[in-house]
Amino acid sequence: MRVLVVSDVHLGNGGVYDIYAGGAALPALIRREAGPDLHLVLNGDAVDFLLSDDPLGIERGRAVRAAEAIAQHPESRAVFEAIGELLALGGQATVRLGNHDVELAIPEVQQTLRAATGQPPEIAARLRFEVGDTPGVLTVGGVRVLYTHGEHNDPWNRVDYPQLNDEARWSKFRHPPGSELVKNILNPLKRDYGMRFADLLKPDFHGAVMAGLAVDPSAVRVASPKEVAGLVARLMRQRLGPATFGPGDEDSVDVIGPLEDIADAADLTDEERELLAALLSPGPATFSAGDAEDSATQKLLKAALRTYARAHRSLAKGLAEAYFSLEPDRREWEEAQRLAQKYEAEVVLIGHTHAARFRQAEGVVYANTGTWIGLMRLPDSEASNEEWMEFLRTLKTNPGLNPALGPAVPVLTRFTGVEVHEAEGGGAWVELIEWRGKERIVLGRTRVTARS
C-alpha cells in the first residue's frame, strides 16, 4: 500500500474569491502516482464553500448548488476526473472534511462530487468522505499513520462535529469564527476594495484586516465594530471549550490578543490611539488627511504583520530565507506527540496551517502537508522601516496583485504533500514531497519501523 496525502487544496468555482493555484499540477501528480495500490487522502479543505456570496449556514439546496458550481469549473473538475481515473485503476480516495468545506457532510453534496469523477456510479461510489470528529488512521508496512486536518487545535476554526453529524440540528449549526471572518470581512475586502491579497495573508483578523486598514482605512467599514467584537467574543468562548480530540493542554493554545495589544505593540501616541478608536467605534467613521492617520495606519500595519509573522513565521520568509522552515514550532510538535501517544501512531500528518513541516524525533514522525494555494511573500519581521514602507506602498498601489498594472507583491507557490509507502524488509518510508511542474522533489525522507 502507498498513501499520498495532500491538504488545503481549496478548489473553487472560478469566481473572484478563488485561491486554488495548482492548475493542472495536482491532476498531473495524481495521475503520476495512480495505481491499484495507492490510497489518496485529501486531508481537509479540499474544496472551499466559503469563497462565495452565499450566507453561512448548512442548507441542503444551497450547498448542492455550490458543489455543482465547483464541480463544473474546469480546474476543479480536472482534479476530480484524475481522482476518478485512480479509482478506475483500483485505487482508493478519501476526502476528509475541513473547516472550509463542512458542507461535505451532506450526502447530496458527496454525490455531486462523485459524479464529477466522470466514472460509472459503482466506481465513483468508492470516493469516500470522512468527517473530522476523530483522526483517520491507516496502516502501511505495520506502521500506524494518523491524519487529521488540524482545525481541532485552532480556536478560530474548530468545527462543532456533534451538531454537524446530526441532520436534525443542521438548521442551528454555526460556523466557527474563522469562517465568519472569511465571509463577512475577507470576501468584502476582495470584492469591494480589490484586495486580492486578503486570502493570501492567512485568514485571521490581524493578518488580513489590519493590512486592509493600512491600504485603505475606509475598508474597516466592511465589518461593523459590533461584528468584530462578536467575532472576538466567540473566539474567547471557544477557547474555553475542549479540543475536538481532547483532552489536550488548552493553555498551549496561543491566541493573538485584542486590538489593544496591537496598539501597545505599535507604541501609538494618544492622538493615534484616538484615531484607531474612531475607526473602530460604532457610527460613521471620519478620516482626516493629517499625519496622524498615516502614521497610525502605518504603525498598526507594521506591528500587526510583525505579530502575524511571529505567529506564522513560515509565511514571513521569502525564498531567499528558505521560504518555509520545515522545522515545526513547539506547539505543532507537542500536538503531534500528543496525537501519536493518544492514538498509538508512529506518523502524524496534519494540514490547515498551509506551512509544510517535517520532523522525526522521539519515535514520532510529524509532517504538515502544506497547501496548493498561493502565499504572499511578506518582509522579514526584522526588515527595516524602509522595506516595510515599500511593501505597503506596493500593496497600496496594486492590491489586486496584478503584474500588468505595475509592480506587485510577489505570490509564491509550493505544492507539497506526503507519501508513505512500505519499505522492503518491513516498516515504511515517509516522504515530504514537492511537485514542481513534472518533477517530484523530496524535501524530507525517513524510514519508520512499527512499534513492537
pLDDT at 247 over 50: no
Q: What are phi and psi of 422, to 5 degrees?
A: -65, 140
Q: Which three cell numbers stand for residue 119?
A: 466514472
pLDDT in tens, 322-364: 445 899 888 899 999 999 999 999 999 999 989 899 999 999 9
pLDDT in tens, 171-226: 999 998 889 888 887 888 888 888 888 777 654 444 555 556 556 656 655 655 55
More confident residue, 385 or 387: 387
Q: What are phi and psi of 2, to 5 degrees?
A: -120, 145
306, HSE (Cβ side, Cα atoms, 13 Å): 19
pLDDT at 259 over 70: no
Residue ranges of domains in the chain:
2-448
pLDDT at 272 over 90: no
Rounded distance between C-alpha atoms, residue 193 and residue 154, angstroms: 28
* One-character DSSP codes across 239-273: HTSPPTT-S--GGG------HHHHHHHHT--HHHH
35 CB-contact burial (10 Å; exposed 0-12 / middle 13-18 / buried 19+): exposed
Antiparallel, parallel or unpaired: β 428-436 and 416-422? antiparallel
Q: Which residues contact 336 (CB under 8 A, 6 or more apart)?
A: 328, 348, 350, 359, 364, 366
Residue-level pLDDT at 197: 81
383, HSE (Cβ side, Cα atoms, 13 Å): 23
Rounded distance between C-alpha atoms, residue 125 and residue 129, angstroms: 10
Mean pLDDT of 240-245: 49
Residue-level pLDDT at 267: 60
Report the side by side order of strands in the sheet with 38-43: 127-130, 92-96, 38-43, 2-6, 416-422, 428-436, 439-448
Cα radius of gyration (the chain): 22
Report the side by side order of strands in the sheet with 136-140: 136-140, 143-148, 347-350, 364-368, 357-361
For residue 170, give the nearest of 180, 182, 161, 179 by alpha carbon: 161
